[in-house]
Amino acid sequence: MSQSSCQWITVLGSTGSIGVSTLDVIARHPERYRVYALTAHTSREVLLNQCLVHRPRIAVLDHSDDAQWLRQALDEADQPTVVLAGREALCQVAREACVDAVMAAIVGAAGLLPALAAAEAGKRVLLANKEALVMSGALFMQAVERSGATLLPIDSEHNAIYQCLPVKHRGGLERHGVRQLLLTASGGPFRTWSADKVAKATPDQACAHPNWSMGRKISVDSATMMNKGLELIEACWLFDATPEQIQVVVHPQSVIHSMAAYIDGSVIAQLGNPDMRIPIAYGLAWPERVEAGVETLDLFQIAQLDFEAPDEARFPCLRLAREAMQKGGAAPAILNAANEVAVEAFLAERLSFGEIANVVEEVVSQPYAGNADTIENILAADHWARQQAAQRVMLQAG
């Protein structure tokens, strides 16, 4: 592949764990990929180092003072990267005409608008930001269909299911002979803990994931199993499935990343070492395959694979997510916003681990008159839920 035929990649959220892994895969294939833009929230020093190594055309930070700092540092290093700031700049680098693929890896609701901009622009969207579909599933999938965008899931579980399904799987699972999707979960760091011990867990304990290296927010979501609940919602939109067609399976080894069960009794699974570079490389190269820097799974070393049902009594967030998807409308966006506020409070030690689910359940149980038919209404629901959750955190802290 000549340099002129290289694909230009925008990495939204380049300083997070997914962004770092994406740049690792890109660097292994300079003949295939070039970095168009890198973006970060506030990690300006990390973004500076990434700019010096990968030499993007554009870098984006959320705040203008951080952007000015980065601009000056790059000028001193004689690096010509253009530095921009703000939400609109994120959307700009996601929809830029020369960009072939966008890695949407901004954590949380903040990643919704730039991911949607990439979809509306008809890009190959490598979706690692599950909140985009949790909050605006119908609108997002409509944008993909209208623009002709290619949507490739990067979460290891959804990427695994994508690989286990027929190439064309829209129109309902039954149409393609699929009975059920089996969404695997590690169980997180508290899988074997008692309910009383789980309720008193500290932020450091919640972030000590046994298998995956992830950011603190998603690590807490894994510990509460809200992450799996959000993935259930995401899977419904990605694969045109109902919540009843998705079974969560706790698989502590994190070797089988997910499965598809067919009506003839077959179950197709995707296996691999727990390394996000595998689904990232799949998304970047699809429909081809490229080396990802990951060792092939050694089945003799693994030796044993275990499975168990999730305990929704100890981890009620999974139930709350399923109920939100069944309710529909703005409920998933409200669930996500309340959870983000509760997790932030927990990480700041203003809320106990056991109270995270309580805050979320109290917010999603409140009546909400709005709907989710426009992006403005979705953002309004998000704002309302954050206010409700913040009030409940204050009451808990008081």
Q: Is residue 247 part of a domain?
A: yes
Domain end residue (candidates: 108, 123, 154): 154
> Which pLDDT belongs to residue 118?
98
Q: Examine the pLDDT at 159 and tell me if it is beyond 70.
A: yes
Q: Report the candidate in 153, 164, 349, 351 with the shortest Cα–Cα distance to residue 271.
A: 164
Cα separation, 357 vs 102, in Å, equals 33
> Which pLDDT belongs to residue 246?
97
Same-domain pairing of 131 and 86: yes
Q: Which residues contact 55 (CB under 8 A, 6 or more apart)?
A: 35, 79, 81
> Which pLDDT belongs to residue 396?
79
CA 160 from centroid of its chain's CA atoms: 14
The verdict on whether residue 155 carries a ligand-binding annotation is yes
Answer whether the bond into residue 274 is a cis peptide, omega within 30°. Answer: no
Segment 224-241 shows an average pLDDT of 95
Domain end residue (candidates: 95, 119, 154): 154
The verdict on whether residue 362 carries a ligand-binding annotation is no
Same-domain pairing of 131 and 246: no
Q: Examine the pLDDT at 210 and tell me if it is beyond 80.
A: no
Q: Is residue 76 part of a domain?
A: yes
DSSP secondary structure string, 343-381?
A: HHHHHTTSS-HHHHHHHHHHHHTS------SSHHHHHHH
Same-domain pairing of 132 and 240: no
> Which pLDDT belongs to residue 276?
95
Same-domain pairing of 150 and 39: yes
Q: Express each pLDDT in 352-386 by its tens digit.
A: 999 999 999 999 999 999 999 999 999 999 999 99
Q: Examine the pLDDT at 213 and tell me if it is beyond 70.
A: no
Pick 198 or 181 by higher pLDDT: 181
The verdict on whether residue 215 carries a ligand-binding annotation is yes
Q: Is residue 296 part of a domain?
A: no
> Which pLDDT belongs to residue 294?
97
Q: Assign residue 228 the CATH number of its domain.
A: 1.10.1740.10
Domain count within the chain: 2
> Which pLDDT belongs to residue 212?
63
What percent of the chain is modeled with pLDDT above 70?
96
Same-domain pairing of 201 and 105: no
The verdict on whether residue 222 carries a ligand-binding annotation is yes
> Which pLDDT belongs to residue 169?
62
The verdict on whether residue 365 carries a ligand-binding annotation is no
Cα separation, 291 vs 293, in Å, equals 6
The verdict on whether residue 186 carries a ligand-binding annotation is yes
The verdict on whether residue 197 carries a ligand-binding annotation is no
User: Locate tokens 């952007």: which residue?
Assistant: 67
Q: Examine the pLDDT at 170 and tell me if it is beyond 70.
A: no
Same-domain pairing of 252 and 122: no
Same-domain pairing of 15 and 139: yes
The verdict on whether residue 31 carries a ligand-binding annotation is no
The verdict on whether residue 16 carries a ligand-binding annotation is yes
Q: In which domain, by residue range, is 48 found? A: 3-154
Q: Express each pLDDT in 25-59 by its tens digit.
A: 999 999 999 999 999 999 999 999 999 999 999 99
Q: Assign residue 150 the CATH number of its domain.
A: 3.40.50.720
Residue 38 · residue 51 · CB < 8 Å:
yes
Same-domain pairing of 120 and 225: no
Same-domain pairing of 231 and 139: no
**Amino acid at site 275:** D
Domain end residue (candidates: 154, 183, 206): 154
The verdict on whether residue 145 carries a ligand-binding annotation is no
> Which pLDDT belongs to residue 1?
47
The verdict on whether residue 376 carries a ligand-binding annotation is no
The three-state secondary structure class of 207 is: coil
Q: Is residue 292 part of a domain?
A: no
Same-domain pairing of 146 and 192: no
The verdict on whether residue 293 carries a ligand-binding annotation is no
The verdict on whether residue 65 carries a ligand-binding annotation is no
The verdict on whether residue 5 carries a ligand-binding annotation is no
Segment 138-163 shows an average pLDDT of 96
Q: Is residue 299 part of a domain?
A: no
Q: Is residue 298 part of a domain?
A: no
Same-domain pairing of 251 and 384: yes
The verdict on whether residue 17 carries a ligand-binding annotation is yes
Strand 256-262 relative to strand 178-185: parallel, antiparallel, unpaired? antiparallel
Across the chain, what does the average pLDDT equal?
Answer: 94
Segment 69-81 shows an average pLDDT of 97
Q: Is residue 30 part of a domain?
A: yes
Q: Examine the pLDDT at 2 and tell me if it is beyond 50.
A: no
Same-domain pairing of 230 and 143: no
Local confidence band at 215 (pLDDT 50, 70, 90 cut-offs): confident
Q: Is residue 246 part of a domain?
A: yes
Q: Express each pLDDT in 96-136 by its tens digit.
A: 999 999 999 998 888 999 999 999 999 999 999 988 999 99
